[in-house]
Structures are given as C-alpha cells and as structure tokens.
Amino acid sequence: MKTVTCTAPVNIAVIKYWGKRDENLILPVNSSLSATLGQNELRAKTTVAADPSFTEDKMWLNNKEQSVNTQRIQNVFREIRRRARKRKGDGDKSKIFSQKIHICSENNFPTAAGLASSAAGYACLVYSLSKLFDVDGEISDIARQGSGSACRSIYGGFVEWQMGTKTDGSDSFAKQITSAQHWPEMCILILVVSDQKKHTGSTEGMQTSVQNSRLLEKRIEVVPERMTNITKAIKEKDFHTFAEITMKDSNQFHAICLDTYPPISYMTDVSRQIVRFVHSFNNHSEETKVAYTFDAGPNACLYLLEQDLGQVVSLVNHFFPAQDNGLNLKVQGLPVSIVKPSQKDIDALSLPVLPNSIKYLINTKVGEGPQILSDPSESLLTDNGHPKTLSS
Ligand code: DP6
C-alpha cells in the first residue's frame, strides 16, 4: 500500500469569485484574489492510499463515509489519473494510477460554516493525489474542478485565480502573487458569528445570481481594474488601498446577493454591526487601519496590521463581549492580549454593546501552501487502509 498524508490551507478572498461561465469545468465569470491563511489555525488534513487489493474508491470526511460518486470528485479523479498515465505511460509496471484509492480527510475547524472548508478540502485532496501518483506541474486547475476557490489554496501568500478565456479551462488556474513572507505585519482576524451550516451554499447561490442579477453583469466590468490595483497595493504593501478595495468588493458581492431573486442574505445584524465598528474605528483613527470581508456566511474576516491588533481586539471584546460578564472573548490561534480599551476610544466609536454576538476569534496570518507530512504516524488510515478513528 502506498500512502501519502498532506495538509492544505484555507483562503479568504479579497476579490470575490461569484459566478461561473461553465458549471462542469468550474470556470468563473471573473478573476479573484485571496490570502492563504496559516495552517496551524485552519487546515484540512488528508491521507490517500492506493493498493491493488482495494476493490473500490472510498472516502471518509470528518469520520463519516461519503460517496465518491459526485460529478466533482469524479472529475478530479479522472483528471489526476489522466495526468499520471500521461507522465508515466501505460508501460509503467506499478500502474499505481490504475489502483483504487482510499481517502480520509478531516478539518481542524467547522465544515461549511462560511470558513472555506471545501477550498481547503479539495486543495488537500488534489495535492495528496498528485504526490501519490507522482504528478508534478500545475495542479491548481484540477483543484478548481473540485471547488472553484480550492485552486487558490494550492499556493501560499497572496494568490490570484486568473479566470482565463478558453472554453476547455486550460488557462483558468491560480498563481502566487507574493509569498507568505512578503507582508509579515499583515494579520487576519476571523470573528466567528456562527459556526452553523450556511442556508444557501455558494454553488447554488452564485448560479441564481448569474441567472438573474443585473448587478453581477456590471461587476464583471469592474473586477479587472480592482485586480490590477489590489495586486499593486499588495506588492507595495499599501494597506490603505488594499483595505479600501477589499471592503468595496465584499460590499459589492453582498449587494449582488441581495440583487439576486429570490434574494440571498449571508450577512446578519451582527455582521452589519461589525461593518459599522470597522468604519467607526477607521474614522476615529483618521486612517484606514482595518478592512472587513464576508464570504457566504455571517463571519467577518478582518485584515489589519500587527501594530493595531491589540487595540482592535480589545475594542472588539468591549463592543461584542462574551455573555459571561467579565470574561474575555476566546481567541484561538496566535496569542493576543486583550486589555481594557481607553475611555476615549470607547466614546469616539459610540456604538452599542452587543453581548453574546460573537462566539470566538481566530487570530492568524498569511500562511504557506499545502505541505506533505512524512512522519507515518500522521497518517489518518491504518495499514489496512481504513480510518484510524473508526478502526479502534
Ligand atoms: C463567497 O468555491 O465554494 O467564498 O466553485 O461552486 O464550489 P464552488 O464555489 P466556492 O465559492 C466560494 C465563494 C466565496 C468567494 C471566494 O472564495 O472567492
């Protein structure tokens, strides 16, 4: 049995992908751009194994067996096996790409809570299979066929997904813009408002938007200029421009959701209160110090610089306190100290206090792309190719 175990990161878009021009190949109507998040805080982990004794392809996700008979998974399998065959040739003795595979995958964060779990999951699956079958070269276009945003999780740092124009999708893949080390002061703070499954999935939501949102037609004209400007801002570490484009793009994406008929609303009253908080804070600072972005769910993702992290977290803790009086909000991930904010800051922001509206915070940074774990004890599968957690 040949086994490979890998991890892959989550990414959060600052220029959103919303809408497909080809549902089967997953080709988008616009290019998009994201930051890859640190894997200590958010990652998928996958073990793949191939063995001549396996009689069928099998997959377990977070301890539950899942069908592999979905169009997306089959597209991924077909494409990775095709490339392995092309590389090795049918004369290859091991023909590992002809063997059946077992896959076991888990996330260290809630699945389908608007925290881009499918992106990390498919990126991890495709990366692991590429190692299992010795496929090298571009693989982000294979991850794209699992879930569009997954192609951006194949790289670390800031990553662009070039929409491409070809009908076969061969020019629609991800490209790293800057490495994970490029902007070390950049912090990413996720305000978890809800870890429940979202009511309208992205796939279904964007399909309806493409069908009937007139605003989406307009957006497609705006994105190329935004992509150019935000790429320049990232390369030059121009936080102000980066932040402004990020917030405008998030707002436009949610405006399109409302323009979709029937309307889709991912943001809640708490999300909107976080938007108010960020604008009040920036206003009071007389400088754009924080940017928000929201995906297909109510959770906020804030981008900000290290020097402002302590002040912002302390103010978030003041205006969105944990239910239990006196207890600070829980922070997962990188450490940050919460202090009592100055009365001047509190008064200047002049916002209501909303207890129990944020569940917890995740503090992370821009991180690296997928990793291979060479220690066999990391494997999620036993020597017989069954999930370790289910075999005990
Ligand atoms: C709002 O990649 O989940 O997070 O391609 O149908 O699987 P499918 O959609 P998915 O959509 C992500 C949408 C988004 C924006 C983004 O990540 O760019």
DSSP string, 121-180: HHHHHHHHHHHHTT--S--HHHHHTT-GGGGGGGSSSEEEE-----TT-TT--EEEEE-T
> What ligand 1 atom has the least distance to the C-alpha of 12?
17
Q: Can you tell me the distance from the alpha carbon of 21 to that of 298, in angstroms, rounded to the nearest whole number?
A: 26
- All residues at 6 or more sequence positions from 314 whose CB lies less than 8 Å from its CB, including other chains: 338, 339, 340, 341
> pLDDT at position 95, please?
84
Tell me what pLDDT residue 112 has.
Answer: 43
Low-confidence residues of the chain: pLDDT under 70: 90-94, 110-116, 197, 324-325, 392
Q: Other CB atoms closer than 10 Å to residue 88's CB: what's the count? A: 17
- Alpha-carbon span 206 to 200, nearest angstrom: 10
Q: Is 17 in the pocket of ligand 1 (CB under 6 A)?
A: yes
Query: How many angstroms is it from 6 CA to the middle of ligand 1?
Result: 22
Q: Give residue 26's region: left, alpha or beta (phi > 0; psi -120 to 50).
A: left
Q: What is the pLDDT of residue 111?
A: 57
Report the separation in Å between the CA atom of 387 and the middle of ligand 1, taken as the mean of its atom positions.
Answer: 29
Mutation pick for ligand 1 pocket among 11, 14, 16, 17 (CB with most ligand atoms within 8 Å): 17
Q: What is the pLDDT of residue 118?
A: 87
What is the C-alpha separation between 330 and 85, in angstroms, rounded? 49
Mutate to test the pocket of ligand 1, among 149, 161, 266 (most ligand atoms within 8 A of CB): 149
CA 150, CA 173: separation in Å to the nearest integer?
A: 10
**Cα-to-centroid distance, 379 and ligand 1 (Å):** 29
What is the spatial order of strands in the sheet that 186-192 belongs to?
290-294, 300-305, 186-192, 360-365, 331-333
Using an 8 Å Cβ cutoff, are 100 and 56 in contact?
A: yes
| Distance separating alpha carbons of residues 76 and 61, to the nearest angstrom | 16
Q: Residue 90: what pLDDT?
A: 62
DSSP class of residue 19? -
